[in-house]
């Protein structure tokens, strides 16, 4: 067993850190404060070849592995969780289903420009009445001539306002339950596709999240992804990989909270000494570092399973569960350690605290993670 990262992994981490210092850190606070999508930085990420890291070069990807991708999400999120998340949704939720289930023609037409960073992707599963119970979706896709007509609405769709293509899930046969859901490739600008209200979020404010509506939205047959009725399986398999991405995002947020806390513990003087000399603070730092290292091991292990072609559904759920709860707990501790200043807008730990919470919710709540883990153990 070798816990060392390879030279390739070390280089990509160093590269992203340098990128973040130069471009992401300087605008992270403004991105959050103004809820401003970091469009220039997303373009720069594409120039670095980081919008299709784990996909083959023949489809415009970097031909690297999932661990490299997880490291990139971790490092970006350490600087700006909204930027890390935008890349995560694009890579895990939009590119993966096209890569895994797309025909050669669909890959050339959609995956290639996505991986090259010529456009961003989104994933539309959740509905106002179908969150955790994804199979309760009511958006319909009715066969009509040589295509389908979509009607319904989706909510909390990240990247939707800036996406060139959205992978959409809709009911083709309600009587079949999970086997009645199909996946569709819906390009931006398709008549009847309406991008609704941009939602004003508590955290990851620079990432764009919106409602998506379908009003008699006609999709050609060739945009059916996978077979009819395969949509639920496609969504679940896509989310398995996405959960590794969210674990990496949570890890980056928690690491940033630790970095800030270590720095502040050495600088802040009370009772004539830096607060890091007090045992109460030392124990907080020790607990943070231990939780974060455990999150990192779970996350990298899940990514390694993916890269080895081993099952990774349970591993991804464990990584997301632990890393997201660590991010929430340890950003809370980081504010406590900072005292009053940690509660003031403009302090990095205040932003991290708000950014952390969503990692326990999206791409499957902590409760769903426990269902997936126990389901794997008890079946
Ligand atoms: N990979 C492949 N297939 C999977 C799968 C996975 N990870 N998870 C489930 N399936 C398959 C099952 O094998 C089953 O197929 P069969 O009927 O052929 O056996 C089918 O899907 C239905 O599975 P299950 O009965 O477990 O589905 P449930 O409706 O009970 O759903 C949960 C289970 C709650 C786990 C699922 O709905 C879920 O993950 N919900 C959360 C959705 C989510 O993450 N939303 C966030 C959206 S993005 S912000």
The full set of domains in the chain, from first to last, is: 7-120 (1.10.540.10), 121-232 (2.40.110.10), 238-378 (1.20.140.10)
Distance between Cα 302 and ligand 1 center (Å): 19
Whether 362 lines ligand 1, by a CB cut-off of 6 Å, is: yes
Q: How many residues does the chain have?
A: 379
Measured CA to CA, the distance from residue 379 to residue 280 in angstroms comes to: 44
Q: Specify the DSSP element, H or E, that contains 162.
A: none
The reply to whether the predicted model has a pTM over 0.95 is yes
Distance between Cα 367 and ligand 1 center (Å): 13
Contacts 24+ apart (CB under 8 A), 302-308: 302/243, 302/244, 302/247, 303/65, 303/66, 303/67, 303/69, 303/70, 303/244, 303/248, 304/67, 306/66, 306/241, 306/244, 307/65, 307/66, 307/67
Is residue 63 left, alpha or beta, with left meaning phi > 0 and alpha meaning psi from -120 to 50? left
Residue 136 CB neighbours (<10 A):
12
Atom 9 of ligand 1, nearest CA residue: 236
Calculate Rg over the CA atoms of the chain. Answer: 21
Tens of each residue's pLDDT in the chain, 379 residues? 889 999 999 999 999 999 999 999 999 999 999 999 999 999 999 999 999 999 999 999 999 999 999 999 999 999 999 999 999 999 999 999 999 999 999 999 999 999 999 999 999 999 999 999 988 999 999 999 999 999 999 999 999 999 999 999 999 999 999 999 999 999 999 999 999 988 999 999 999 999 999 999 999 999 999 999 999 999 999 999 999 999 999 999 999 999 999 999 999 999 999 999 999 999 999 999 999 999 999 999 999 999 999 999 999 999 999 999 999 999 999 999 999 999 999 999 999 999 999 999 999 999 999 999 999 999 8
Number of H helices, E strands in the chain: 13, 10
Distance between Cα 288 and ligand 1 center (Å): 33
Atom 13 of ligand 1, nearest CA residue: 233
Whether 366 lines ligand 1, by a CB cut-off of 6 Å, is: no
Distance between Cα 233 and ligand 1 center (Å): 7
Whether 132 lines ligand 1, by a CB cut-off of 6 Å, is: yes
Let me know if 363 is a catalytic residue: yes
Whether 32 lines ligand 1, by a CB cut-off of 6 Å, is: no
Atom of ligand 1 nearest to the CA of 232: 21
């Amino acid at each position: 067993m070798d816990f060392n990262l390879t030279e390739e992994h070390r280089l990509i981490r160093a590269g992203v850190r340098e990128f973040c210092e130069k471009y992401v850190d300087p605008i992270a606070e403004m991105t959050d404060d103004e809820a401003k999508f970091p469009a220039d930085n997303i373009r720069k990420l594409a120039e670095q070849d980081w919008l299709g890291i784990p996909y083959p070069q023949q489809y415009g990807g970097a031909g690297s592995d999932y661990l490299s991708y997880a490291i990139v999400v971790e490092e970006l999120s350490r600087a700006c969780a909204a930027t890390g998340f935008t890349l995560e949704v694009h890579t895990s939720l939009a590119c993966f289903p096209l890569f895994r289930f797309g025909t050669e023609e669909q890959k050339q037409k959609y995956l290639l420009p996505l991986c090259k960073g010529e456009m961003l992707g989104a994933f539309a599963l959740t509905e106002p009445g179908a969150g955790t119970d994804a199979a309760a979706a009511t958006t319909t896709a009715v066969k009509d001539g040589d295509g389908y007509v979509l009607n319904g609405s989706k909510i909390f769709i990240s990247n939707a306002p800036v996406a060139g293509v959205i992978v959409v899930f809709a009911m083709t046969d309600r009587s079949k339950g999970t086997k009645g859901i199909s996946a569709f490739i819906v390009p931006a600008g398709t008549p009847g596709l309406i991008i609704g209200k941009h939602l004003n979020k508590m955290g990851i404010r620079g990432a764009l999240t919106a409602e998506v509506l379908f009003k008699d939205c006609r999709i050609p047959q060739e945009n059916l992804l996978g077979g009819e009725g395969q949509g639920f399986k496609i969504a679940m398999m896509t989310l398995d990989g996405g959960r590794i991405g969210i674990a990496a995002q949570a890890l980056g947020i928690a690491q940033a909270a630790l970095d800030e806390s270590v720095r502040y513990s050495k600088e802040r003087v009370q009772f004539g000494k830096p607060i890091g000399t007090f045992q109460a603070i030392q124990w907080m730092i020790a607990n943070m570092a231990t939780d974060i290292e455990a999150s990192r091991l779970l996350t990298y292990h899940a990514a390694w399973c993916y890269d080895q072609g081993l099952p990774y559904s349970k591993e991804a759920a464990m990584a997301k569960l632990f890393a997201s709860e660590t991010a929430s707990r340890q950003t809370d501790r980081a504010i406590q350690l900072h005292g009053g200043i940690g509660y003031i807008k403009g302090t990095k730990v205040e932003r991290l605290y708000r950014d952390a919470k969503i990692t326990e919710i999206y791409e499957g709540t902590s409760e769903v993670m426990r269902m997936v883990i126990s389901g794997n153990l008890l079946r």
